[in-house]
Amino acid sequence: MDTKWKKWLNFIAVFIVIIIMSVTGIYGAIECNKLGMIDGTVSLDSLEDSRESLFSDTASALIFQWASEKQGVANSTTYKGIFGEKELKEILRGAVVEAKLKIKPYGKKMKTIQETYGAKKADYQGGKITGIRMERDTSQKVKSDGSFTDTQTEDDGGAEAFYRFSSIYSESDLSVNIPEELLINSDKKQRLENGTITVKFTKQCIRNIETYYKERQKELQNIIKTAIVLAGIECFGSILLIILFALQERRTRFFAGIDRIWWEVIAMLVCSVMIAGGTLFAAVFYFSRQYSSSSGNTIQTSTVVETFMIISFMVIPCIVAIFAVCVQTTVWRIKQKKLLDTTLCFGYFRKWYRLSKERKRLEYEAMSFSKQHEKDRIKQYRTVRKILIVFIFLSICAIPYFSFFGVGMAILGVAAVRCLIRYSEQYAKEQKNLCKLIDQIDRISNGELTAQADIPKGTIYYDYSQKLSNIGNGMEKALQEQMRGEKMKIDLITNVSHDLKTPLTSIIGYVDLLGKDETLSPESRDYVQILNKKTERLKNIIADLFELAKATSGDMKVNLEEMDMRRLMEQTLADMEDKIHQAGFIIRFECHAKQTKFMGDVNRMYRVVQNVMENALKYSLKGTRIFVDIYEDPKSLWMEVVNTASYEMNFTEEEIMERFARAEKSRTSEGNGLGLSIADSFTKNCGGSFKISIKGDQFRVKIIFDKINNEKKR
Amino acid sequence: MNQPKILVVDDDKEIVGAIKKRLEMEDYEVFAAYDGLEAMDFLMEKEIQLLIIDVMMPKMDGLSATMKIRESKNIPIIILSAKTEESDKILGLSMGADDYISKPFRPDELVARVKSQLRRYLQLGSMIKQEEHKNQIVNGGLILDTDGKRILVDGEPVKLTATEYKILHLLMRNLGRVFSADEIYERVWEEEAYAVENTVMVHIRRIREKIEIDTRNPRYLKVVWGIGYKMEKMA
């Protein structure tokens, strides 16, 4: 009960932990996914950027915004930095983009464009001004209409390669992303000759940018914190799982199967899981590093990082589960002291060694008392095996020096094959005969005692088959004799009883007629009375004798029915009321059993109870009581009849059961001594047992039957 | 009316002699035969009212003779046999015998059975058939008259107390069915049964004394030991 409760508790705990871990994993994956969902593109690496690059980032975003609105740059390449749409609009209130561009449409005259974008009249005093100057690389060749010869580089997104950039207003290099369409635009058929873009920020704007930056940072930090906490939960859960598995008292089928796997495989699995996990984290780390070092392909790289994080959260539960199972089975093996046995290099070879030792011992034993041909077989088998072992050894050696050992291998192989062919032919013949012999044994054991097998004379199994046939024939003969004896016995009983009954019928008839004769003297009448009584007794004895003989010969058929022991006793007592009254005994009957049903033959069981009661009435001391009780235990049901004998019982329990044994040695009184024997035989015929015990003057009869199990019947 | 004629068949002449003497004392006309064929011949010649026949006999045994006789005659046949097994009795009765007495028997018992069979055959033979449709339950020689609330054993009315009549009525309505003492008590006394085995048994014994020839070896009212009581269904 207690262990069952524990088992269930463990099971529930494991279930809960697994559910928590899966939920955490899914939640973590969603959180990581959010990283990419935040308005604007944000990555872990954005946090590490310096303040300076923050401004160039903002400038880039503003230039893109301007370019997309005024110059018709496609939206797909729009760069927004860490900002969202709303935030960028806010920034534009305190910032301005001033561009002065010299543009050369292909095959047309050069034109100059001057544009401003954003809050022109704001106070930029004390703010920040940054700018970039772009100039066409004159070393690049240009067609007569003004387009570039090498358009291939254009498609690669390498338009920047045709230009030289220099920053104005700031000491350090300003790295700003310039939309490519601004430089060379194949759709509009124009290019940029040179130009200057200046971006100004007011003080308020700078503060705003810093605030956004911090907000983003906080947001990111929160996500990462959550991720770390979730990862922690995963790790803790895995440890918990390992502990819970280790606490399990009995192994589930799953674990029992796992325990049988070589431990090396488990160890390898642990290693590979660890390597996989390590690789995953390393990959995440590597990609994030790479992103921070090259801000060129920001969008792409950050997506990769996030994907990796999502994957890692999905994969962690699996890795942890495998790890937990492996650790668990290892712990279990150590606990069971079976770790070495289940390893391949130690346990398997030890098992192999033990088996081969056992086989050798068996062979030795077989050799010590078997016949010559069996010895031969074992020897032959050994030869082949040895050759094959050497062959295997050589073949292992032959791997580096194939040319030399190859010849040896071939010769050995041929030898082995030749031996095997020769022996196997011999075996096949013997095997065939052996099968015939086995078939003969099977048939004999199935009752066909005279079964024969056609094994050719002179082969090794011929003699055995002959001996077996002799045994079978002998048994058949004995069986027939026994059956004939049994039949004779029953016939004898029937005939003798018939031969006894016929004259007795005449005697009874004539004694009766004699009694009806009115001319008889009173004396003769007394004699007839005695004759009447004695013939009656003789009749009973013959009947009893016949019944007993039949019961013990096993010829009697019993008709088993469900009976009630209590009812049987009550009926018998009521039936015998007159006799009991005449004998002057008091019978104390009590039933201590609740379920008193058993299987018996109704007529035989009546005889049993009647005989036992008659016996008790006959041999009890006057004035004593006869106790009749019915008891039960979970399996059986028994009836006890206890009486006090009127004489000293100078015999044993066994003696009284012998036929014709009588309570007194002198055989004068009524009864023929067959009563208890009949009761005993009948009880046994019905499947019960009959026991007599004597203690001082107490004579106790116990009749035991198996209870009918009600549950079984249902 | 003439004395009823009885044919006794047995290969043991002394037994036949004893039976003949005993039956003649009861004013029956008795003839003897010593094997089955002789009995058959005798039956062809003479009008016989009852046949007592042994089973184990030379030439033709009692069972085959019984079967043969049943083809043409419906006189009562009592089988005498040294075989005491239940199966032998059943075999004998199913061959068409009306009664089965196992050797050795008490002559008084034989006489009682002969009387019973003759009474049924001679006095009631036709009557039973006519009155069967009335409110009567018939089982062998027993007729329970539900209108008159009385019972006839081989045509003779027997005095029963009200309780005894109720028990007999219950058992005869359900021929062959075994009733436990509790069941009988609850149905007849219409009270809840508690330790009633003895009471019921006493009544059963009294009924038996009134309707059975040999109370130790009853034909009709049987005790199924350890189960209950039943009225044997007769052919």
Q: What is the pLDDT of residue A41?
A: 46
Residue A291 has pLDDT above 70, yes or no: no
Predicted pLDDT at A405? 65
Burial call A135-154: b when 16+ CB within 10 Å, e when fewer: ebeeeeeeeeebbbeeeebb
Question: Whose structure tokens read 């045509």?
Answer: B155
Q: What is the pLDDT of residue A374?
A: 62
Query: pLDDT-derived band of residue A287, with 50, 70 and 90 as boundaries?
Result: low
The C-alpha atoms of residue A10 and residue A636 are separated, in whole angstroms, by 42
Task: Name the minimum distance, in Å, from the CA of B181 to any CA of chain A.
Answer: 9
Helix B13-25 / helix B107-118 crossing angle, nearest 10 deg? 60
> Chain A residues contacting B, CB < 8 Å?
494, 497-498, 501-502, 504-510, 512-513, 516, 535, 539, 543, 546, 561-565, 567-568, 570-575, 577, 600, 602-603, 605-606, 609
pLDDT-wise least confident of A219-228, A308-317, B29-38, B169-178? A308-317
Q: How far is A535 from chain B (nearest CA, A)?
A: 10
Contact B223 A502 (CB under 8 A): no
Distance from CA of A588 to the nearest CA of B (A): 14
**Confidence at A80, pLDDT banded by 50, 70, 90:** low
Q: Is residue A12 over pLDDT 60?
A: yes
Which of B12, B84, B228 is opposite residue A506, by nearest beta carbon? B12
Tell me the pLDDT band of A105, cut-offs 50, 70 and 90: confident
When pLDDT is cut at 50, 70 and 90, the band that residue A212 belongs to is confident
Distance CA A393, CA A275 (A): 36
Q: CB distance B22–A570 less than 8 Å?
A: no
Nearest to B107 among A509, A562, A575 (CB): A509
Contacts of A535 in chain B (CB under 8 A): 104
Partners of residue A630 in chain B, C-beta under 8 Å: none
Closest CA to A508 of B96, B30, B12: B12
Closest residue, chain A, to B86 (C-alpha): A603
Q: Do B103 and A502 touch (CB under 8 A)?
A: yes
Chain A residue with minimal CA distance to B101? A505
- The predicted pLDDT at position B132 comes to 52
Q: What is the mean pLDDT of residues A136-153?
A: 67
* Contact predicate A136/A175, CB 8 Å: no
In DSSP terms, which residues pair with A703 in a beta bridge? A639, A690
- Could A501 and B104 be called an inter-chain contact, meaning their C-beta atoms sit closer than 8 Å? yes
Tens of pLDDT, residues A374-422 = 667 667 777 877 777 777 777 777 766 766 666 777 777 777 777 777 7
Residues 173 to 202 of B: which have CB under 8 A from any A CB?
180-181, 197-198, 200-202
Name every chain B residue with its beta carbon within 8 A of the beta carbon of A546. 84
Rounded Cα gap, residues A120 and A475, in angstroms: 127
Residue A662 has pLDDT above 70, yes or no: no
pLDDT for B119 equals: 82
Chain A interface includes B58 (CB < 8 A): no
Query: Cα dist. A403→A3, A397, B15 in Å?
Result: 66, 11, 113
pLDDT at residue A666, rounded to an integer: 45
* Terminal alpha carbon distance of chain B: 29
pLDDT over 60 (residue A126):
yes
The Cα–Cα gap between B6 and A372 comes to 86
Residues B192 and B182: beta-carbon distance below 8 Å: no
Largest CA distance in chain B: 62
pLDDT over 60 at B23, yes or no: yes
The answer to whether the beta carbons of residues A453 and A440 sit under 8 Å apart is yes
Count of alpha carbons within 13 Å of A101, Cβ hemisphere only? 19
Q: Which of B150, B155, B153, B96 is nearest to B125 (CA)?
A: B155
Strands annotated E in A202-303: none
Instruction: Give the pLDDT confidence score for residue A214 in this predicted structure.
Output: 78
Q: Residue A575 and residue B205: Cβ atoms within 8 Å?
A: yes
Checking if the pLDDT of A176 tops 60, the result is: yes
Over residues A549-575, mean pLDDT: 80
Give the residue from A493, A497, A506 with the most B CB atoms within 10 Å of its CB, the best one to mutate: A506
Rounded-to-integer distance, Cα A700 and Cα A408, Å:
89
In this complex, the residue of A502, A543, A600 whose CB is nearest that of residue B226 is A600
> Is pLDDT larger for residue B122 or for residue B31?
B31
Lowest mean pLDDT among A51-55, A594-598, A609-613: A51-55
DSSP-derived secondary structure for A554-609: T------EEEEHHHHHHHHHHHTHHHHHHHT-EEEEEE--S--EEEE-HHHHHHHH
Give me the percent of chain A exceeding a pLDDT of 70. Answer: 78
pLDDT > 50? residue A297: no
C-alpha to C-alpha distance for B18 and B6, rounded to whole angstroms: 14
Cβ-Cβ contacts under 8 Å, A508 against chain B? 104-107
Contact check, Cβ <8 Å, A567/B197: yes
Q: Indicate yes or no: CB of A512 within 8 angstroms of CB of B108.
A: yes
Contact in structure between A104 and A191 (CB atoms under 8 Å): yes
Amino acid identity of residue A539, one-letter, is K
Instruction: State how far residue B198 is from chain A, nearest Cα, in angstroms.
Output: 5
- Highest mean pLDDT out of A52-66, A297-311, A564-578, B148-162: A564-578
Does the interface ipTM go beyond 0.90?
Answer: no
Nearest chain A residue to B105 by CA: give it.
Answer: A505
- Considering CB atoms only, which of A498, A504, A539 is closest to B56? A498
B69 to chain A, minimum CA–CA distance in Å? 25
CA distance, residue B224 to nearest chain A CA (Å): 6
Q: Is the pLDDT of residue A368 over 70?
A: no
Nearest neighbour of B82 by CB, restricted to A502, A574, A577: A502
B168 pLDDT more than 50: yes
In A, minimum Cα distance to B216 occurs at: A575
pLDDT value at position A399? 66
Interface contact flag, B15 A570, Cβ < 8 Å? no
* Cα gap B143→B134, rounded to integer Å: 11
pLDDT digits 0-9 by tens, B184-219: 888 888 888 777 888 888 888 888 888 887 777 787
Q: What is the mean pLDDT of residues A43-70?
A: 69
Asked whether the beta carbons of residue A571 and residue B22 sit closer than 8 angstroms, the reply is no
User: From CA B83, how far away is CA B61, in angstroms rounded?
Assistant: 13
Q: Do B227 and A572 touch (CB under 8 A)?
A: no
Mutate: best of A494, A497, A505, partner B, most B CBs <10 A: A505
**What's the pLDDT at A595?**
83
Smallest CA–CA distance, residue A598 to chain B, in Å, is: 10
- Whether residues A575 and B15 touch (CB distance < 8 A) is answered with no
Mean pLDDT for the stretch of residues A672-700: 83
Q: Do B103 and A504 touch (CB under 8 A)?
A: yes
* pLDDT value, residue A586: 86
User: With an 8 Å Cβ cutoff, are B84 and A543 in contact?
Assistant: yes
Chain A residue closest to B12 (CA)?
A: A502
Q: Does B20 touch chain A (CB under 8 A)?
A: no
Cβ-defined contact of A512 to B227 (cutoff 8 Å): no
Tell me the residue length of chain A: 714
The contacts of residue A584 (CB under 8 Å, 6+ apart) are A622
Least confident of A351-355, A366-370, A468-472: A366-370
Residues in chain B closer than 8 A to A605 (CB atoms): 225-226
Give chain A's mean pLDDT: 76
Using the predicted structure, report yes or no on whether residue A541 has a pLDDT greater than 70.
Answer: yes
B chain contacts of residue A507, beta-carbon cutoff 8 Å: 104
Question: Is the full-model pTM beyond 0.90?
Answer: no
Helix, strand, or coil (residue A688): coil
Whether residue A110 is predicted with pLDDT greater than 50 in this model: the reply is yes
Burial class, A181, CB count within 10 angstroms (exposed 0-12 / middle 13-18 / buried 19+)? buried
Cis status, amide bond into A456, omega within 30 of 0: no
**Among the partner residues B22, B107, B226, nearest to A567 by beta-carbon distance:** B226
Which of A509, A546, A568 lies nearest to residue B22, judging by beta carbons? Answer: A509
Q: In B, which residues are within 8 Å of A572 by CB distance?
A: 225
Asked if the Cβ–Cβ distance from A570 to B198 is below 8 Å, we say yes
Q: What is the nearest CA distance from B72 to chain A, expressed in angstroms?
A: 30
Question: Which among A501, A562, A563 has CB closest to B82?
Answer: A501
Asked if B223 and A509 come within 8 Å (Cβ–Cβ), the reply is no
- Give the residue from chain A lying closest to B22, CA to CA: A513
Which among B228, B216, B194, A605 is positioned nearest to A613, based on CA atoms?
A605
Whether the predicted pLDDT of A143 surpasses 80 = no
For the cut 60, the answer to whether the pLDDT of residue B102 exceeds it is yes
pLDDT of B81 over the 80 cut = yes
Higher-pLDDT residue of B8 and A178 is B8
